[in-house]
Structure 1
Amino acid sequence: MKNITPFAQLFLRLALGIGFILPVMDRFGWLGAPGAPNVGWGNWATFVDYTNSLMPYLGLSAANVMAILATAGEIVFAILLIVGYKIRLASIGSFLLTLIFALSMLFFAGYRAPFNYSVFVVSASSLLLASISDYKWSIEKKRL
């Protein structure tokens, strides 16, 4: 295990990317209906309600806008991380998005929620990925 950094960063990129894609698929109902096993939301309306519970100071229409922005961010970050393009930028965006999510959970869902779902770990992992200087096995590396 002389130098595991290239494998570790690839593994982290894939884990983060897939970790963003699966919840997006869930909120679009592609993983099953609400209440089905291993389904968190099952449809967009349930996800917007959850978003509103984490941002109770916003109205439902503003929560819908925030849900759209979060989902768009997750889709973009997932694709960029998985294919290995603009990794540092995607990692910083992922860090900021998940930090906001974690803090919202902390204040409005209880202190255990962001830790039960490891949201602070995802946020810190994204920040760590942004600090790596060389992204082996990426489109960025191939372009040089």
Structure 2
Amino acid sequence: MSAVADRLGFWSNHAAWGNWENFEAYTRQLTFFLPVTISKLSAYVATFLEIAFGILLLVGFKTKIVANLTGVLLMIFALSMSVSLGIKSALDYSVWVGSAGAFLLACQSFFPFSVDHTLSASDK
């Protein structure tokens, strides 16, 4: 969520991108193999998914599914960063660790502080 806030300009001077245009340029670097239009679209899709997955994980709704999807999304980011910028950039931003953490969360069987738990308790 902090990365989304950064690309939308909420972190001002203390930012990686600072604004949407810089984020689109960065996305273009990561997706150099895509046509410009699709690269631009991927910036919007990634931002939407980061917002949606972040909120769903915070409230704990469909946690296993969303954690797996988050792991895949972060793995795509990590692979793109590693190929286009080198492995160090993906390691610096801990994208591989974030992906592994999301997959680890998906392996859990019980989420006591979640909407999932509340809904399953009300079914009984």
If the TM-score is normalised by the length of the shorter chain, which range does it land in?
over 0.9
1:59 Cα deviation after fit: 2.9
Which position in structure 1 is the counterpart of 2:117?
Answer: 141
1:47 matched to 2:47? The reply is no
1:105 matched to 2:81? The reply is yes
Aligned match for 1:74, one of 43, 50, 56: 50
- What do you get for the CA RMSD once the two structures are aligned? 0.9
Which position in structure 1 is the counterpart of 2:106?
Answer: 130
Task: Work out the number of aligned pairs and report it.
Answer: 120
Which position in structure 1 is the counterpart of 2:94?
Answer: 118
Aligned match for 2:40, one of 49, 64, 79: 64
Q: Kindly provide the CA deviation profile for residues 77-122 of structure 1, in whole angstroms up to 9, marking residues without a partner as x.
A: 1000111111111101110100000001111101211111111000
- Tell me which stretches of 4 or more aligned residues in structure 1 moved more than 4 Å: none
The two structures have a TM-score, normalised by structure 2, of 0.93
Q: Distance in 2 between matches of 1:57 and 1:103?
A: 13
Secondary structure at the counterpart of residue 42 of structure 1 = coil
Secondary structure at the counterpart of residue 47 of structure 1 = helix
Which position in structure 1 is the counterpart of 2:11?
Answer: 31
Q: Distance in 2 between matches of 1:111 and 1:141?
A: 38
- Tell which has more relative contact order, 1 or 2 (C-alpha 8 A, sep 6+): 1
> What one-letter code is carried by the residue in structure 2 that aligns with 1:98?
L
Secondary structure at the counterpart of residue 86 of structure 2 = coil
Query: Which consecutive residues of structure 1, in runs of 5 or more, have no partner in the other structure?
Result: 1-20
Q: Distance in 2 between matches of 1:106 and 1:54?
A: 9
> What one-letter code is carried by the residue in structure 1 that aligns with 2:52?
V
> What one-letter code is carried by the residue in structure 2 that aligns with 1:31?
W
1:50 Cα deviation after fit: 0.3
Q: Distance in 1 between matches of 2:88 and 2:7?
A: 23
The two structures have a TM-score, normalised by structure 1, of 0.80
Q: Percent identity?
A: 37
Q: Distance in 2 between matches of 1:58 and 1:105?
A: 14
